[in-house]
Amino acid sequence: MADSFDVIVVGLGAMGGATAFHLARRGLRVLGLERFESGHARGSSHGESRIIREIYFEHPLYVPIVRRAYELWQELERESGERLLTITGGLMIGPRDGTLATGVLASAAAHEIPHEVLSAAELRVRFPGFDPSENHVAVVDARAGYLDADACVRAHLAVAARSGATLQFDERVVSWESDGQSVRVETDRGRYSARRLVISAGPWMEALLPDLDLPLSVERQVLVWLEPTTHVDWYAPTRFPIYLWEYGAGRLAYGFPRLAQGVKAAVFHNGDIVRDPDSISRTVAPEEIQRVREALQHVLPSVANGALRDAKVCPFTNTPDTHFLIDFHPSFANVLVSSPCSGHGFKFASAIGELQADLLIDGRSRFDVSPFRLTRFPTR
């Protein structure tokens, strides 16, 4: 007979781990299944840093969710004893009439978020590593900073386990089925049953949901770590903020202070689309590194011209509109489909875990999730 639980969570990265945490904290019998080892680097939830920011340019609807995420990350810090969140402030830099600046200012206005707008000259004085064009501005997000991604995932899983969740790694889901009242999951190691199922498998979502023909794409995102050519002290976390930089119309680069590996930077949504997440090339070509250098050249020249410390690949699982996908399976009301990221989801994980636990237990959430429904995509 299959082992029985209240909820089975497939995928124990940022979102799945947070969901298992919130379910277990509420006393449910939770089984978490992860196809790889704990803390693996094949998905989108690993590494030393992920940006968190309050003034969300993508859409004002994200601001209430990220505000709750801040609260929950701080609560998790206290409960786990892990340092998770570092506030550095953030800069959203670009033309005053560009996508980034106008979106940030609209979000700040909609939610009455205090902020500053710096001219290019003011930016150079306050943060001398930056050297933008004269027609650029920088919107200051005082609450922005970064999360330690590895520590965040580790903390959620540790507290989930202490709260009674059963977490199993190196166990691949082979198939699942539902009759609307219960689910049965078969893995390469066993069979399990539960009342509800959460599928939060990142790049492996489509393989687990072939009947839905999900409009997801897996993007090969390249990250580089560079060593500034001068004034290394300018880039310390106590002096240097996280930033987004609109280097072309609607084209963004982003980066962090200097941490253990160097100054991390990347071009946002500029990677190749891959068909098989298990065969992503992890080798970064020189031209891919050069692309990041060129994007930074006119805002952070010392970083752009710096020595390469490291380069890595991280897969993004994207929806066509880059908004999250959180919805119940159209045929099974006890199966929650969870693919929130599109390259900007990690910061929300603590709140998404709570939100998904609310949906599974109560059928509703404090947040409006209608923009994240499957029905916004036409049937293919």
In three-state secondary structure terms, 299 is coil
Q: Is 363 left (phi over 0), alpha (psi -120 to 50) or beta?
A: left
Strand partners, 243: 91, 255
Which residue ranges does the chain devote to CATH 3.30.9.10?
90-142+217-318
340 band by pLDDT with thresholds 50, 70 and 90:
confident
Give mean pLDDT, residues 39-65: 94
Q: In this predicted structure, what is the pLDDT of residue 254?
A: 98
Which residue ranges does the chain devote to CATH 3.50.50.60?
3-45+150-213+321-376
Per residue in 22-37, pLDDT tens? 999 999 999 999 999 9
CA-CA distance, 140 to 274, in Å (whole number)? Answer: 35
Neighbours of 118 (CB within 10 A): 20
- What CATH number should be reported for the domain whose range is 90-142+217-318? 3.30.9.10
Q: In this predicted structure, what is the pLDDT of residue 270?
A: 83
* The domain made up of 3-45+150-213+321-376 is a member of CATH 3.50.50.60: yes
Diameter over CA atoms, the chain: 70
Per residue in 146-204, pLDDT tens? 999 999 999 999 999 999 999 999 999 999 999 999 999 999 999 999 999 999 999 99
Q: In this predicted structure, what is the pLDDT of residue 59?
A: 87
Q: In this predicted structure, what is the pLDDT of residue 379?
A: 59
Q: Are 3 and 184 in contact (CB under 8 A)?
A: no
* Mean pLDDT across the chain: 96
